[in-house]
Amino acid sequence: MGEGLGVRDGRGVVSVTVNETLPLLVLASSLIPGLVIFSLPEERHGLRRAFNLTGAVLKLLFIAIMLWGVLHGESYVFRYSVLPGLELVFKADALALLFVTLSAVLWFFTTLYAIGYLEGSPHRSRFFGFFSLCVTATVGVAMAGNLFTFFVFYELLTLSTYPLVVHRGTPAALRAGGVYLAYTLTGGAVLLAGVVWLYGLLGQVEFTQGGVASTLGPEYAGQLRMIFFLLIAGLGVKAALVPLHGWLPQAMVAPAPVSALLHAVAVVKAGAFGIVRVVYEVYGVEFAQSLSLLVPLAVVASLTIVWGSLRALFQDDLKRRLAYSTISQVSYIALGVALFGPVGTLGGIVHLVHQGIMKITLFFCAGNYAETLGIHKVSDMDGVGWRMPWTTAAFTIGALGMIGVPPLAGFISKWYLGLGALEAGMPWVLAVLAVSTLLNAAYFLPILHRAWFRPQTAPWPAENIPMKNGRETAWLLLLPPLVTAAATLLVGLFAASPLSPLDWAKLVAAREYLNWAP
Amino acid sequence: MSGLDWLSAIFLLVGAAFFLAGTVGLLRFPDVYTRLHALAKADNLGLGCIVIGLLFQADSLAAALKLVLVWLLALAASATVSFLVAHRAWRRGIAPWRADEPGIRRHDES
Amino acid sequence: MPRFPLRALFWRGALFAVLWWILAGGRADSWGVGLVSVALALAASLALLPPRGNLPSWRGLAEYLAFFLAQSVRGGVQVAGMALRPRLDLHPGVLEIMLRLPDGAGRVVLANTLNLLPGTLSVGLEGARLRLHVLDTRRPVAEEVRVAERHVARMFGLRLAA
Amino acid sequence: MTMDLSALNQLLAVFLLANLVLALWRVTRGPTPADRLLAALLFGTTGVALLLLLAHAGGGMALVDVALVFALLAAITGTAFSLRAWRREEDDERP
Amino acid sequence: MLDPLPWLILLPLFWATLAFVRGPGRGGRLAVAGLLLQLALAGGLARQVAGEGERVYAVGGWGAPLGIDLAVDGLSAVMLLLAQAVALPLAVYARAYYAAHEEGARYFWPLAGALLAAMNALFLAADVFNLYVTLELLGLAAVGLVAASGGAGPVTAALRYLMATLLGSGAYLLGVALLYGAYGSVSLSILAPLLGADAPLAVFLAAALMLLGLMLKTALFPFHFWLPPAHGGAPAPVSALLSALVVKASFYLILRLWLDLFAPLATVAAAQLLGLLGAAAILWGSLMALAQTRLKMLVAYSTVAQIGYLFLLFPLATDTGSVASASAIQGGVMQALSHGLAKAAMFAAAGTVILSLGRDDIARLGGVSSRLPLTLFTFALAGVTLMGLPPSGGFTAKWLLMSSAMHSGQWGWVVVMILGGLLAAAYVFKVLRQAFLPVEAGTQFKPVPRLLEWPAFLLALASLLLGLRAGEVLGLLGAG
Amino acid sequence: MSAGLLYALAGAALFAFGVAGLILRSHPLRKILAFNVMGSGAFLVLVGLGQRDGTADPVPQAMVLTGIVVSIAATALALALARRQREHGNDKEERDA
Amino acid sequence: MNLAFDLLLIAALLWSAGRALTTPDLFRAVVLFIVFGLLMALAWARLDAPDIALAEAAIGAGLTGALLLDALGHLRGPVRRKSGLIAPSTVMSSEGAGPPAFPTYFLNGLAIVLAVALGLALAGALLLLPEPAISLPREVAAAMDASGVAHPVTAVLLNFRGYDTLLEVAVLWLALLGVLAVAGGRAPGRAPVTPRSARASLKVPRLLARVLAPLALLVAGYLLWAGAHQPGGAFQAGAVLAAAAVLLNLAGLLPGGATPRWVLRAGLGFGLLVFLAVAAAVMGQGVLLQYPPAWAGALIMLIETGLTLSIGLTLAGLFLALSGASRQ
């Protein structure tokens, strides 16, 4: 570590401990490969692949160490002072690790998938460079220890995803990129206003249990409500809360791995994660409740859930249908957060992981259809299950999970959300969940029906990868969805076991609701 | 005032009178050539008179000669510039004023 | 003139030295810079106006000056009279005269001199042809020009053409 | 130098300045550029006289140097005028 | 060991003169060597200031009020560092640029040296008349650089620039005259304690004239009319120098006068007016940038907009001594620094594109992303600073300004800054998106030397990383 | 009123003239004249104001000497630019013709 | 009597300046401006500032006039390019364009109102101004003994505020750089056209130039020498030198051109280099430009000599680079 990184003690000596370096190493394990990849010539495929995968594996390794450490009571904090009173803080707490783990695991598989997906296409150095930067930003968002650090990486995420969205360079892609930027940068600006305002009031906004804002007296209630509105509006853009969701369906022009990453891990999830952080650790859930901020949030989330599902019903384009589904599903997280009470929290936070696994499965599969057979539309999917059984099987698991069929991941989320709603005294949320589930079924089941039970009526739009030795598509494309589909199944089945996402979520909830024991 | 002072004053006054004449000529004369006559002759004589007038007031020989030097330089400049301006005016076709034909015209058109 | 123009060098040097003396007001401490300046001026002068061998004659110069002074007083008085008279009484016209001076500085000095003499203004000088603007065509200008020409020729030690 | 002469010098300076101001009329009046320039030339000679008078009216002998520079450079304006500025119709070459 | 203070002025003059004597187009290597040394000197001076605080240097040993004083404090040390740090990579860039593109190369080095000398002298001056001379030196050098390529556009632009800068320095000079008339001295250190709120009218007029003149030179809206053609029309190394440094020099002087000299006269209304003009500059400049079809014009208008941020500090810094005021000044200086680095990088990148592509229509940049990735990346990184996104210096600047606005309850400026950031994003991405298009048929990309791409990249990187080292910069700023 | 103050007042007026001329007139040559008039005005204020009490003050005089040299420098540069601009205009006219 | 003189002079100054800026004819404007310059020299003479009067006489009357008149030959006539600070819609030359559009009209009105307000405010401010607290002339007088020269203005210019002068010499040199860059950047134009009529009339100015140039050298030397104890100095001397060069060029005896050879370039940079070298060398003993008292006079003389040469060359260069290099 160079001079200036790390904490200067009184004598100006720089001391960096292992516990401080680990968060940095997690960041560096994708940042450095990203930067190296940028400078690699286009044709150095092998070297690039090696960098990518080494980075991904290293990151998983570092995270594993931290997971182990956190379980054993270690704390991982790194601080770097940018300005007096303004620090970059990386902290590996339970919530952070939940998200970091999710993104690292999914990054690994998405990388594999992307290597297969982009085989032979141009500008791969650029693509993987930004891809790595994007993950770096996500990790930064996850491990941010204060609102400032969160904001820094939140904006970095915007910038590093833009080149991925416009990667194809078509006018449609550029248009979509423009819309994407317009939304996210405006959101970022609104968020910044909220952040600066809050810093002005507090002098620092470290993420803390019970919320830092709760230290302010009642005379600040009005200002704090305004700030809350700004923060949620800024985060809501990425989290695709209605009516700030307009960019997401447009961004579907991006290559499938990008969509997968955007929806499951990076952009959307960063917004949702931010909402979690703001409600729990900036305001504190009790304080937020006392400012009566939670009910409106729940209402917005519910509206988004219903609206997204409704819109999804009418999309023929598979990826667009999935996109609207994302809008709907991600709001479960916000909903869970808005439900006052530990059980709702559990539902929301566990959905952070579950939705990621399920949705990435679905996008991998959608990418497979498009890449292998040129299928982009639901109406072209008749009989595809028999041409691509493995892919369709994975898709089926993901879809059923989304609907909430037990014992899949989605069921766990919905169950706790329902319980949480009752606990919070908002029974109307149950109705929302019910309607949403019905709608989920209404837009997923027809797909499954077409894939499995309808015969192929027309030739595939463009069969790019022929059937070879019984392999329906390239193995790099097939492996990732199968793994994530299996995960969907496993996290549901073994939800009660230690180290499962639900278990971690309980850890988080226990931090927020101090006198609650799961 | 001493006699020398009187002499000085007279020269100065005469010089001023020439300057006045030059100016009046500049204002009254009908064309550029005649005005040049007025300037080149009256003013230089005026300057000469003033220089002579001031010679009587000079502190030293060198100072006096410097005044004369100034006059000589002015003379040279004046003579040269008069020529150049008149020449150029002629080249540009400006005809001299004639008593029987007042007004400006080009000499190559008449 | 292949011979090193020692005489010209001396006279011009003396002239510049005198001029310096005038400029510096006779101060003795000025001669350090003064000598350098005089030398430079002398060099410039030799480069710009290479001496032609024949020095101006002192007598010619004196006569010329006397003539010039007298005539310019006359010229000034004449013009002043014309300017200040209540009614303008001008009879201008243009006159061309073939000069008898040889080509060179002499002609220019003459043309310039005429500008300061009564009633004449040089308008053009091409070769030997001198074009004059005269203030009063009724006066014998041509004769006066000849007189002036003679004075200039004598001062420069030149011979007039026939 | 007596007081009276100094006063006379001053008076004449004012007189010459008035002369100059009068001559400005010719600058605006023209009609040809040459006529306008004449006024500027007048400023050369009259200005020199003025400076000499000012110098002897208590302005300090340095003003004689100013007059000297004036006279030395007086020709430049007229020369630049007739050789550079007033030459838009060079083509009207006369025989 | 050389005393850095006088040598920062003498050295560029030396190499400028020697470059001139060596002949047209020569002297690049000399300049780079000189700038290296200057950078070291500026660093040494900064260290001195950080260690020992403010320093006054009496030229000729006379001292004010008879002689001229030079003075260096944190602010000037920071600006000096910026100037050398920007100029050095640009000099390397310019050598490569003019090797490929000879137009305007004839007297670039001497002019650039004089420009640097003027700037350093300006940052060090503590005498209002001496400042006038440095301003003129700076202005003429800048105009000469703009005009040096001799094309129709640049010459017209240079003429307009010259008139503007002359009007500006004329007003400034009259202000100096009034100050001298009022107090009998032109030394800042002598004048400062004499000025009070009860100053005679002439002093108020002097303040107004000097500030107005400098605003004209800084191209603050609505005095920005001269800037876009001049900065957009000049050769890229020149545009970079001008946009990055020259406007900052006059801004520095405004700040210096406002804080050190005219503080007792400064009224809230005047400060608000400056802020409003700044806000108008941000919005108008950004909108105009967005409307441009030529790359360099876009970048030039972006300068108009970015200058606006600098002036937001005045309404925020009225309550001197408060936290809000301190962070406003810090924010303003950070903005000057980060914009300097970023804009130099951006113009340099634009120049590289033009050299390679032979044109600068924004609509026809297709393929730049694949053929000149590093240059595009440079442009984008610089853009990040302009947008004020983290972790760039631009972000730190905006953060400081915003928190100052929040502290002093002046919400309006926050809205302006947010809007400005979004508009900046709009025009930066307007360029970037075109670069992602495929190569246009019939387009030839000339290969460009690395020395053209890397200096620009380093500048952009510096502007980005400046945000992370802001603490040290502000520490130095506070040292004097 | 001392001569110094009188000339300073004249300088103020000249400065205002110059400013108006610089803004209002569009021909470059005219702007150059205006700028020079403006500069002369400022010089007069500087020197005139400095010697309100009637004694010569060498400091502003030296400053004005500096200023005059700067003025001529700027004037020459401006003229060069104006002439170059005009040549471009003429070239354009030739091309258009 | 003095008051009458001053009032008359000021009236003439204001009138000529005002007319120079308002008269529709460019030539008239230039002549009026030249007149203005001469009047300014008189004003300086009246203000006890013979140094400035000398400079104004040499630069204002000689060089600026020549520069403007030379440029006039190239800048008159109709032109279609616009270059206004505010009023871009009016035509350049004869300036008799059609009625300006409303915004122009409005802005022009505004500018006039502002200028008048500025003038009035300045006048008021000047009249209200009390005497200054600090008297620099006293300080100058006290330090004269240590300055190395006997003339206060020179002491200020080369010693007390020598640093200003150093930068100002750089300004001058810089302007020449700019002019060379602009004038020399073009493709080699046609040779300067001297029409036959002009050639025929060159004899007369040639003689004058041949006689005056050595004299100018002498006067320049005198002014340089004089600077140490009376009005004069490097600027005035340099300006006189330059004026001589201009006269030679006008008479066709000195070619113009915008690409100086290296000897010339060395000469142009010489003064600045000498100044810089002295400034730097004395730092060994003290600070920048701190002359050892015993050496002050000699060092100032050295600097002034270098400056005279460089300033002369530079000022002349400003004219020569433009003259002749331009096409008709």
Q: Considering the domain boundaries, does residue C34 fall inside one?
A: yes
Q: Does F70 touch chain G (CB under 8 A)?
A: yes
Is E231 a domain residue? no
Contact E10 G266 (CB under 8 A): no
C15 and C72 inside one domain: no
Top pLDDT among D41 and B68 is at B68
Mean pLDDT of E97-104: 83
What is the secondary structure of E206-241 as a DSSP string?
HHHHHHHHHHHHHT-TTSGGGHHHHHHHS-HHHHHH
Question: How does strand A86-91 pair with strand A7-8?
Answer: unpaired
User: Tell me, what amino acid is at D31?
Assistant: P
Domain count for chain B: 1
Residues C81 and C142 in one domain: yes
Chain A neighbors of E373, CB-CB under 8 A:
38, 125-126
Q: Which of residues 39-58 of E touch G (CB under 8 A)?
A: 57-58
Residue B48 lies in a domain: yes
The answer on C98 and C122 residing in a single domain is yes
Q: Is residue E221 part of a domain?
A: no
pLDDT band at A7 (very low <50, low <70, confident <90, very high): very low
- CATH number for position E405: 1.20.1410
- Residue B19's identity, in one-letter code, is F
Read off the pTM: 0.91
| Dist. CA A131–CA A261, nearest whole Å | 9
For A74, the 3-state DSSP assignment is: coil
Residues C17 and C67 in one domain: no
Position C40 scores a pLDDT of 93
More confident residue, E36 or E326: E36
Q: Do E162 and F78 touch (CB under 8 A)?
A: yes
Q: Minimal Cα distance from D25: which residue of B?
A: B27
Range of the domain at B68: 3-91
pLDDT for G14: 95
Q: Count how many domains chain E has.
A: 1
- Judge whether E337 lies within some domain: yes
Q: How far is C103 from chain G (nearest CA, A)?
A: 10
Q: C33 with C96, same domain?
A: no
Which residue range forms the structural domain that includes residue F91? 3-96
The answer, yes or no, to whether residue E103 has pLDDT greater than 60, is: yes
B-interface mutation test, from G54, G204, G223, most B Cβ less than 10 A away: G204
What are the φ and ψ backbone dihedral angles of A406, each rounded to 5 degrees? -70, 150
Please state, for a pLDDT cut of 70, what percent of chain D lies above it. 87
Which residue in chain B is spatially nearest to C22 when comparing CA positions? Answer: B62
Q: Is residue B8 part of a domain?
A: yes
Predicted confidence at residue A16, as pLDDT, reads: 59
CA of E173 vs chain F CAs: smallest distance (Å): 7
**What percentage of chain A reaches a pLDDT higher than 90?**
40
Q: Do chains G and A touch (3 or more CB pairs under 8 A)?
A: no
Query: What domain count does chain D have?
Result: 1
What letter represents residue A385's amino acid?
Answer: G
Instruction: Give the pairing type, strands E55-58 and A7-8.
Output: unpaired
Contact criterion met (CB < 8 Å) for G46 and F62? no
Q: What residue type is E172 in one-letter code? A: Y
E214-237: burial string, b at 16+ Cβ within 10 Å, e else:
bbbbbbbbebbbbbbbbbbbbbbb
Structural domain of D20? 5-93
Q: Give the tens place of pLDDT for each residue, E149-169.
A: 778 888 999 999 999 999 999
Supply the pLDDT for residue F96: 63
Please give the Cα distance from D6 to D57 (Å, whole number).
Answer: 5
Are E213 and F79 contacting, i.e. CB atoms less than 8 angstroms apart? no
Please give the full DSSP string across F37-93, using - where no structure is assigned.
HHHHHHHHHHHHHHTTTSS--HHHHHHHHHHHHHHHHHHHHHHHHHHHHHHHHHHHH
Give the DSSP per-residue string, E152-200: HHHHHHHHHHHHHHHHHHHHHHHHHHHHHHHHS--BHHHHHHH--TT--
Whether residue E202 lies within 8 A of chain G, CB to CB, comes out as yes
Across the interface, whether the CB atoms of G217 and C40 are under 8 A apart is answered yes
pLDDT digits (tens, 9 = 90+) for E256-311: 999 889 988 888 899 999 999 999 999 999 999 999 999 999 999 999 999 999 99
Say if residue C81 is in the same domain as residue C10.
no
Tell me, what CATH number does F12's domain have? 1.10.287.3510
Give Dmax over CA atoms of chain A in angstroms. Answer: 77
User: Is F91 near chain G, with CB under 8 Å?
Assistant: no
pLDDT tens figures, E447-469: 888 899 999 999 999 999 998 88
How large is the C-alpha radius of gyration of chain G? 23
For residue E141, the chain G residue with the least C-alpha distance is G174
Q: How far is G248 from chain F (nearest CA, A)?
A: 19
Instruction: Measure the CA–CA gap between A334 and A352, rounded to whole angstroms.
Output: 10
User: Domain containing D68 — which CATH number?
Assistant: 1.10.287
DSSP state of E125: B
For chain A, the average pLDDT equals: 87
Contacts of E56 (CB under 8 A, 6+ apart): E69, E70, E71, E126, E189
Element (H, E) at B83: helix B61-91
Domain that holds residue C36: 6-48
- Which amino acid is located at A292 in the chain? S
**C37 in the same domain as C67:** no
Among residues of chain E, what percentage have pLDDT more than 70? 99
E141 backbone φψ class: left, alpha, beta (φ>0; ψ -120 to 50): alpha
CA distances from A398 to A452, A475, C23 (A): 15, 19, 107
Do C146 and C81 sit in the same domain of this protein?
A: yes
Hey, what long-range contacts does D29-35 have (CB within 8 A, 24 or more apart)? Answer: D30/G28, D31/B104, D32/B32, D32/B89, D32/B92, D32/B94, D32/B104, D33/D81, D33/D85, D33/D86, D33/G27, D33/G28, D33/G31, D34/B32, D34/B85, D34/B88, D34/B89, D34/B94, D34/D81, D34/D86, D35/B32, D35/B35
Task: Give the pLDDT band of residue C1 (cuts 50, 70, 90).
Answer: very low
- CA dist A508 → A265, A273, A276, A338, E372 (Å): 19, 13, 11, 15, 47
Query: Which residues are within 8 A (CB) of A75 and not within 5 positions of it... i.e. 6 or more apart?
Result: A19, A91, A92, A93
Q: Which two tokens stand for residue A263?
A: 């929806």
Structural domain contains residue B108: no
Average pLDDT value for residue range E73-97: 95
CA distance E217 to A182: 34
For an interface test with E, give the residue of F9, F46, F69, F91 to mutate (most E CBs within 10 A).
F46
Please, which residues bridge with residue E58 across strands? E69
Give the span between the Cα atoms of E188 and G202, in whole angstroms. Answer: 55
Report the percent of chain C where pLDDT is more than 70.
94
pLDDT in tens, A168-216: 888 888 889 999 999 999 999 999 999 999 998 888 889 988 888 888 8
D24/G41 CB distance under 8 A: no
Q: What is the pLDDT along chain G (328 residues), one digit of tens a residue?
A: 788 899 999 999 999 999 999 888 888 888 899 989 999 999 999 999 999 999 998 887 788 888 998 888 777 654 433 333 333 333 333 344 444 556 677 878 888 898 899 999 999 998 888 888 888 888 898 888 888 889 999 999 999 999 999 999 999 999 999 998 888 654 444 444 555 555 666 788 888 899 999 999 999 999 999 988 899 889 999 999 999 999 898 888 888 777 788 888 888 888 899 999 998 888 887 788 888 888 888 999 999 999 999 999 999 988 888 875 443 3
pLDDT tens for each residue of C100-150: 888 878 888 888 888 888 888 888 888 788 888 888 888 888 888 888 888
Is B102 inside any structural domain? no
Contact D56 B36 (CB under 8 A): no
Touch test A–D: 3 Cβ pairs or more under 8 Å: no
Residue B78 lies in a domain: yes
Quick one: which H or E segment has residue E383? helix E373-387
Q: What tens digit of pLDDT does each residue of E38-80 get?
A: 999 999 999 999 998 899 999 988 888 899 999 999 999 999 9
What pLDDT shows up at residue C4? 59
Contact B80 G211 (CB under 8 A): no
**Measuring CA to CA, which residue among A488, A510, A511, A513 is closest to residue A500?**
A488
| Within a domain: B39 | yes
Distance from CA of C110 to the nearest CA of B (A): 10
Q: What is the pLDDT of residues E347-378, one digit of tens each?
A: 999 999 999 988 889 988 888 888 888 899 99
C44 plus C81 within the same structural domain:
no
Residues of A with CB under 8 A from a CB of E: 4, 38, 80-84, 86, 88, 122-123, 125-126, 151-152, 155-156, 158-159, 162-163, 166-167, 169, 173-174, 177-178, 181-182, 185-186, 188-190, 192-193, 196-197, 199-200
State residue E346's pLDDT score: 95
- The pLDDT confidence band at residue A6, using thresholds 50, 70 and 90, is very low
The interface residues of chain D toward chain B in range 2-21, judged by CB-CB distance below 8 A, are 2, 4-5, 8-9, 12, 15-16, 19-20
CA angle F40, E249, E86 (to 5 degrees): 140
Q: How far is the C-alpha of D15 from the C-alpha of D17, rounded, in Å?
A: 5
Chain D nearest CA to B60, separation (Å): 12
> Predicted confidence band at C162 (pLDDT cuts at 50, 70, 90)?
low
Cβ–Cβ gap B90/C124 under 8 Å:
yes
A-contacting chains (≥3 CB pairs under 8 Å): E
Query: What is the C-alpha R_g of chain E?
Result: 21
C76 and C152 fall within a common domain: yes
Q: Which helix (H) or strand (E) segment is E84 a member of?
A: helix E74-100
Residues 62-121 of C with CB under 8 A from G: 105, 107-109, 111-112
Checking if the pLDDT of B101 tops 70, the result is no
- pLDDT single digits (tens) D68-90: 998 988 888 888 888 887 765 43
The C-alpha atoms of residue G257 and residue G183 are separated, in whole angstroms, by 9
| In a domain? residue B15 | yes
Mutate which of A1, A5, A39, A83 to test chain E, going by most E C-beta atoms within 10 A? Answer: A83
Share above pLDDT 90 across residues of chain E, in percent, rounded to a whole number: 72
Number of domains in chain F: 1
The answer to whether the CB atoms of E180 and F35 lie below 8 A apart is no
Encode pLDDT of A409-464 as tens digits: 999 999 999 999 998 888 899 999 999 999 999 999 999 999 999 888 888 888 88
Q: What is the Cα Rg of chain A in Å?
A: 22
Q: Measured between beta carbons, which residues in chain D are less than 8 angstroms from residue B93?
A: 92, 94
Distance CA A403, CA A443 (A): 9
C98: distance to nearest CA of chain B, Å?
A: 17
pLDDT for the residue numbered A272: 92
Interface touch B67/D86, C-beta < 8 Å:
no
pLDDT beyond 70 at A14: no
Instruction: List, in sequence order, every beta strand (DSSP E) within G74-173.
Output: none
Range of the domain at E335: 280-480
Q: How many domains does chain C fold into?
A: 2
State the Cα–Cα distance between residues A232 and D26, nearest whole angstrom.
80
E155 reaches G (C-beta below 8 A): yes
**Average pLDDT of span E77-85:** 95
